[in-house]
Amino acid sequence: MGRTRGKNLLLIISAILFLSRELAFPPVLADLDEDKRALLDFLLGTRHARALNWRQDTPVCEAWTGVTCSDDRSRVVSLRLPGRGLRGPIPPNTLTRLFSIQVLSLRFNFLSGPLPSDFSVWENLTVLDLSNNGFSGSIPDSISKLTHIAALNLANNSLSGEIPDLNLPNLKWISLANNKLNGTMPKSLQRFPSWAFLGNNLALEASDSDHRIKIEKLGEPALLGIALGACAVGFAVTSLLVITCCSSNGVDYETSLDSKGGSSGKKPIKQNPTRDDKIMSFAGFSYSLRFKHLLKLPAEVLGKGTFGHTYKAVLKDGNEVAIKWVAELSVAAAKFELLMETVGTLRHENIAPLRAYYCSRDEKMLVYDYFSEGSVSSILHGIHNLISRSFSPFLLSGLAFIQSVRSTIAGKIAGRQSRLSWERRVKIAVGAARGLAYIHAHNGKRLVHGNLKASNIFLNTQGFGCVSDIGLTTLMNPMMPASLRAAGYRAPEMLDAQNACQESDVYSFGVLLLELLTGKSPTHAAKVHLVRWVQSVVREEWSAEVFDLELLRCPNIEDEMIGMLKIGLACVATTPEERPKMAEVLEMVETVYQAKSKDQPSVDQKSPFHFPQA
């Protein structure tokens, strides 16, 4: 009997010890296989425009795009899938099973529905970026359980309701801008600048007085609303750069913010610890930079293009450069570097020189000369990108920021008529033609630009067009959304950006000529197809209706404009075989320019190209 009791007591003690161990070490510590299944379940339950190489038979830590594991490869600690075309709500019970995750970035997708309800499962999370999606509903109270969070970005969604009291001791940066939030700002967030909450209906209560500042949805005219919408996106992304710049380790912002003082004790995960972070530079660029140094340079947003945002940065000696952060491009490093090494050797007065570049698995940057006048698109169409050199959103807040936008718009509109005369437009066309012809003659006549448009052309010191962003579109994923491709400039046969050829470049140049002649943007919101519109007007013999009214005020240029119009129409022929070579286009454009310089009649009568007939 005593032995039986002893055995029973031993069993009870063993059971208690087992239960104690389970309580002390709950199943939150999932193994890598469970993390893998969680990611596959997330992928299965989410629509995505850009395919991911996640498969059951491949190792998650070595091959899976956007996934980073811990040093011992036992846990998934980072998931970064920016701009992957993810759609729909986050499937329940998928990402919340990644119990060891430290960095979660799903920015610039099309995710919708409510935010995950239980953030407390991500107890090690230091960076959460769900910005630029379509999330709706309220911000869950459980987000306050993220005690190690250092950066929180929920900007540019459709979140509503009041902001919960986020008493997060390690939070160093936040943006909730451009949502539908209302109510009073919690005291715990009043230490952050007001721009982090613009575009909402919030009452900001100043900490040193009872004064309340109401920041509401803007009721300005449509133009101002559009401008401010662009600003919201721009300074949200600029803020990401600022977070990056704050890093003392030289890694990207998502991995550089460690939960200092936290219980996990884990170090930040470097994006590519085996790769040298040195910036690869070309002849004529005498700066020895590393990635971490580049991120610490003073910078401001110039605008957003096909592949990401461009910033103006000031080097230590005061020289200014333009840095293009290539975010919307997923390509093997070797292929990217091969193109950069080719483009970096191009030296021509009408080509914006690529001075340096940086390439890792997750980050790609290009360094160009900075052109102070901005792009031809911004000059021609009057309203310059408002998040530009005119002012920085970080220096302005509330009504002062709105007033600066209003003043900038008024100044741009008032100065438009004097900004781009016929002579300047001709010099832009000549410079762009020279640059593009040089590109086509380079590398065994196999190199193409692939994305020629007014926003990729700048003015050199003599006022001639200068071509930039060479070849990047040829690396574009064919699954990338069509909105990221310059549809108004794209040749009809170019269904896939990777199929760009020199003939399609000629078509794009023809569209550029029509844009300079008409003053109309090929990508205008009115959905007017510029090429078809010009062709229809010319067929009706109403050629004068084509030209920008500002040009019609200039005397004695009709022949030159007609000559340039015929060149443009020849370039936009429907079939590639009908289009002239770029060298021939250059010769014709130069002839018009030389005739203008000598104040002689243009060569229109000698042109072998004719208006299409109905």
Q: How confident is the model at residue 412 (pLDDT cuts 50, 70, 90)?
A: very low
**What is the per-residue pLDDT for 325?**
83
Q: Tell me the residue type at 101.
A: I
More confident call, 580 vs 279: 580
**What is the per-residue pLDDT for 7?**
56
| pLDDT tens digits for range 13-42 | 555 554 444 444 444 334 889 999 999 999
Q: For the chain, what's the residue count?
A: 614
| pLDDT of 300 over the 70 cut | yes
DSSP string computed for 208-221: TSS-EEEE----S-
Element (H, E) at 8: helix 2-24
Pairing of strands 158-161, 134-137: parallel
Handedness of CA 276, 282, 288, 289 (dihedral sign): negative
Q: Where are the beta strands (DSSP E) in 448-525?
A: 457-459, 465-467
DSSP three-state, residue 381: coil
**What is the per-residue pLDDT for 224?**
44
**What is the per-residue pLDDT for 506?**
96
CA distances from 380 to 27, 306, 466, 588 (A): 61, 19, 15, 23
Contacts of 7 (CB under 8 A, 6+ apart): none
Contacts of 51 (CB under 8 A, 6+ apart): 479
More confident call, 603 vs 429: 429
Q: What is the pTM of this model?
A: 0.53
DSSP three-state, residue 135: strand
Mean predicted confidence (pLDDT) in 405-415: 41
Rounded Cα–Cα distance for residues 171 and 45 (Å): 31
Q: Pick the range with the lowest mean pLDDT from 202-211, 364-373, 479-488.
A: 202-211
| pLDDT tens digits for range 369-408 | 999 888 999 898 864 433 333 333 333 333 334 444 444 4
DSSP 419: T
**What is the per-residue pLDDT for 547?**
87
What domains sit in the chain, N to C, each tagged with a CATH number?
29-197 (3.80.10.10), 297-369 (3.30.200.20), 422-596 (1.10.510.10)
| pLDDT of 196 over the 70 cut | yes
| pLDDT tens digits for range 493-535 | 887 666 789 999 999 999 999 999 999 888 755 467 899 889 8
DSSP three-state, residue 469: coil
Q: What is the CA radius of gyration of the chain?
A: 28
More confident call, 554 vs 355: 355
Query: C-alpha 41: how far from its chain's center?
Result: 28
Q: Tell me the residue type at 125.
A: L
DSSP string computed for 321-340: EEEEE--S----HHHHHHHH
More confident call, 8 vs 356: 356
More confident call, 282 vs 252: 282
More confident call, 613 vs 190: 190
Short-list 86, 173, 174, CA closest to 134: 86
Let me know: does 36 contact 64? Beta carbons within 8 Å: no
Mean predicted confidence (pLDDT) in 137-162: 91
Q: In the block, which residue shows the tokens 């919201």? A: 232
**What is the per-residue pLDDT for 212?**
38
Contacts of 160 (CB under 8 A, 6+ apart): 136, 137, 138, 179, 180, 181, 182
The partner residues of 310 in beta bridges, in order of sequence, read 303, 324
| pLDDT tens digits for range 57-90 | 888 888 798 898 988 889 999 998 877 788 899 9
**What is the per-residue pLDDT for 496?**
67
Tell whether residue 217 is among the known ligand binding residues: no
**CA torsion, ordered 76, 78, 84, 86, to nearest 10 deg:** 70
Q: How confident is the model at residue 607 (pLDDT cuts 50, 70, 90)?
A: very low
Exposed, middle or buried, 34 (CB in 10 Å: 0-12/13-18/19+)? middle
Q: How confident is the model at residue 350 (pLDDT cuts 50, 70, 90)?
A: very high
**What is the per-residue pLDDT for 79?**
92
Let me know: does 121 contact 197? Beta carbons within 8 Å: no
Let me know: does 375 contact 456? Beta carbons within 8 Å: yes
Mean pLDDT of the chain: 74
**CA torsion, ordered 439, 444, 446, 449, to nearest 10 deg:** -10
Q: How confident is the model at residue 98 (pLDDT cuts 50, 70, 90)?
A: very high
Tokens representing 202 are 């919030």
CA distances from 528 to 70, 534, 564 (A): 52, 10, 21
DSSP 488: G
**What is the per-residue pLDDT for 558?**
86
